[in-house]
Amino acid sequence: MTPLVLIAAEGKQSAEVTDWSARIGWVVGLLLFIALVYWLMRQGWKWRGTLQSDLPALPTAPEEPGEPRPALLTTSGRYHGSTTAGQWLDRIVAHGLGVRSRVELTLTDRGLDVERTGAPSFFVPAANLRGARLDKGIAGKVLTEGGLLVVTWAHGDRLIDSGFRSDHAAEHAAWVEALNTLTHDQEGAR
């Protein structure tokens, strides 16, 4: 009986011990790969900004020397970015236009004042407004049909689409109507 017991004992092996050096090597390699991907994304963002460096500086709201103009509409919400008009994936990053942020929109007969938190604010004069529409997406953001207010405006020699989403999406239709009315009035004045 003794030989049979020895054969059974030889067949059992303990569980393999974790190879910590290999595991640490894989983790470090993965972290380096993730860092490389983020660095390449940042370089791409900077390169896009360099390619768009011909875009003039963003206009600011005019100082009102006399009585203040009444606001036609105001809302708060989210600014989702700007693209070349008609090309919803061609994001514009120059002058901070590619940065998402909270926004306060104010429409007056002078134009559209875009006050952003954590990013440069800008002003679109009424003469530069080209129209507004409801859409479902802009570079990096896709919503349900009509969930995004897209304002088209001229800046320098470019037409730009800027995407906004109000905290109260039911207001979007009123914004489209008011912006298109203001645009039509400006075209009639030219």
Domain boundaries, the chain: 20-51, 73-189
Distance CA 31, CA 157 (A): 43
Residue 18 is predicted with a pLDDT of 77
Report, at the CATH architecture level, how domain 73-189 is classified. Answer: Roll (2.30)
Q: Kindly report which listed range (95-99, 109-113, 138-142, 148-152) carries the lowest average pLDDT score.
A: 138-142
Comparing 2-11, 29-38, 108-117, the range with the smallest average pLDDT is 2-11
Phi, psi of 180 (to 5 degrees): -70, -35
Between 43-52, 149-158, 180-189, the lowest mean confidence (pLDDT) is in: 180-189
* Nearest one of 135, 109, 104, 140 to 122, comparing CA atoms: 104
Is 4's pLDDT higher than 60? no
On average, the pLDDT of the chain sits at: 84
Percent residues over pLDDT 70 in the chain = 85
What's the whole-model pTM score? Answer: 0.74
